[in-house]
A and B are shown apart, each in its own frame.
Chain A
Amino acid sequence: MLDRIETVEPKTRSLLYVRDRSELLDEASAIDAARSSGDRVGLLAGVPVVIKDNIATKGIPTTAGSRMLARFVPPYDATAVERLKTAGALIVGKANMDEFAMGSSNENSAFVAARNPWDLTRVPGGSSGGSAAAVAAGEAVLSLGSDTGGSVRQPAGFCGVVGVKPTYGRVSRYGLIAFASSLDQIGTVSRDVEGAAVLLGAVAGEDPRDSTTAAEPVPDYVSELDHGCSGLTVGVPDEYFSEGLSPDVESAVRRAIDVLAEAGARVKAISIPNAAHGIAAYYVVANAEASSNLARYDGIEYGHRACGSRDLFDTYCATRSNGFGREVKRRIMLGTYALSAGYRDEWYLKAQKVRSLIADDLSRAFEEVDAIVAPTSPTRAFGVGELADDPLEMYLADVYTTHANLAGIAAISVPCDPGDGGLPVGFQIMVDKFQEVTMFRIARAHERAAGFPRGVPDL
């Protein structure tokens, strides 16, 4: 796998950091030795994993894709990383990402933009673009990403791999560099559904260091994987198949729904009346929370500090102005505006109320159906530079993914048959809070019937 990284990395740019080869080989040998001497080894013993670069790894640089943290080395591990190490996983390196997880194309990485391994002229999606590209290109078996508005599912869809956004509170956010705390959730990237189930099982669960984690016990996600989808009802919202959805994605997703029906699922038309307001509500809430979370980057305790300033106020302004990239500044500005005196009720509070309406729509739908199916994104992977100058168009790439974050429910993106043998298309399955077992069953039934995973790109 290290050889594979060396060969393809100059093309994919999936990784921002790869650990020292001899150190990794030593760790792998230690696991082999333990296994052959009959010692108990973890569920992920020796499995190469890459970690999105906004998740803290002790002693390994963690930049969040930003100049602000270009030289930051965390003194502790995120809980999810600690649990991966306990399970025996090999932490191979850190995955590329849009700066502070803000972006849908990876082009906002302050260092280098990752590319889609299926077509190097296209984006891998974002913000966890490096995680998805690395797994798709065979540079890692599994990856942890983070999903605030689709940041795991959208790149997984673009790169033809499996991406999970678990229920809010399912995985500890301790050590995840905060973007929008009420929406952020660490998620998984894998080649198949079983990989996702194993990885989520390894990192999920209550954590005293994150008081927003859920106390619900973590079920065995693997044991019911092959129970099929017979008898389950999947809902198809009219609103997700309207204006803006490209015809090739629509036909691929409709085929995926047919696959589930043939496998025994009941298919039911449903309605999410407030669906159209998802993007606006999401971006107002996410930017407001981001402007508050990113206030900590002031150049004092850690991270970049601009030199030569006369006083503290100047130091703050100069540090933040040259430490943050364009999109991050734009979102801090939009968020600060939405929270500023006189505007808070009109923007922030209003968006939070619309968020309640969307969550209520979804709750009502889950009284009738076990899962909601949808496209992951309105288009397939777009070209590098295609949307880079149009922030609003870029935001619309998240039109089908933000609802799960706003409502705190779980969702998975799995590759579905594109029909024309071309670029991958993502098929999204959403379930109510803590219904990941059902989500995995449906995803697995589709994967089996549709014949995934399919090969690795030639690079």
Chain B
Amino acid sequence: MAVTKDDVRHVAALARLALSEEEVEELAGEMSRILGFFESLAGVDTTGVEPAFRALRRENVARDDAVGEMLTPDDALANAPDREGNYFRVPGILPRE
């Protein structure tokens, strides 16, 4: 199992992680080794086996569509890194000219 440095860069972009060149190098080696160990799964015969996904088979749990308790705007915004009035402030979404 060989994970290349390009694979690492691709996955890091998907995961929204900025990695240093050193981290890319290190992760390529570690991921190759760890995924190499996990590769033993490929040898298990799973013909006709359903994937588990969840531990308890409880489906379509619904509740009444009733208004319950909720956070006040101040509580909801109390942990915001940057706030303006009752809004979260964020950096520009569109690139600046």
Contacts and interface: CB of A to CB of B under 8 A. Distances in A.
Contact of A300 (B7, B53, B90, B96): B90
A329 to B, nearest CB: 6
| Chain A: number of interface residues, binned into ranges | 35 or more
In this complex, which of B51, B61, B63 has the most chain A Cβ atoms within 10 angstroms of its Cβ? B51
Contacts of B2: none
Contacts of B67: none
Interface in B58-96: 58, 61, 63, 71, 75-76, 78-82, 88, 90-96
A303 B92 CA distance: 19
Given A280-B41, A320-B16, A333-B17, A169 B56 contact: yes
B56 A408 contact: yes
Interface string B5-37: 001101110111111000100010011011101
Nearest to A211: B61
Interface in A186-225: 208, 211-212, 214-215
Interface string B29-51: 01101110110111010100111
Given A75-B75, A283-B38, A356-B49, A182 B82 contact: no
Given A277-B41, A316-B16, A334-B35, A309 B91 contact: yes
Contact of A350 (B23, B42, B50): B42
B79 A353 contact: no
A309 B92 CA distance: 10
A300 B88 contact: yes
A317 B91 contact: no
Contact of B56 (A340, A357, A433): A433
A157 interface: no
A355 B51 contact: yes
B41 A349 contact: no
Contacts of B38: 280, 283-284, 347, 351
A370 to B, nearest CB: 20
Contacts of B82: 305
B64 to A, nearest CB: 9
A357 B44 contact: yes
Contact of B34 (A295, A310, A334): A334
Nearest to B48: A353
Contact of A321 (B11, B17, B34, B81): B17
B67 to A, nearest CB: 13
A361 B14 CA distance: 36
Interface string A316-334: 1110110010000110111
Given A295-B15, A311-B96, 14 more contacts: A73-B79, A75-B79, A182-B52, A211-B63, A214-B58, A274-B44, A299-B81, A305-B82, A320-B18, A330-B27, A333-B15, A340-B10, A340-B14, A353-B46
Interface of B: 3, 7-8, 10-12, 14-19, 23, 27, 30-31, 33-35, 37-38, 40-42, 44, 46, 49-56, 58, 61, 63, 71, 75-76, 78-82, 88, 90-96
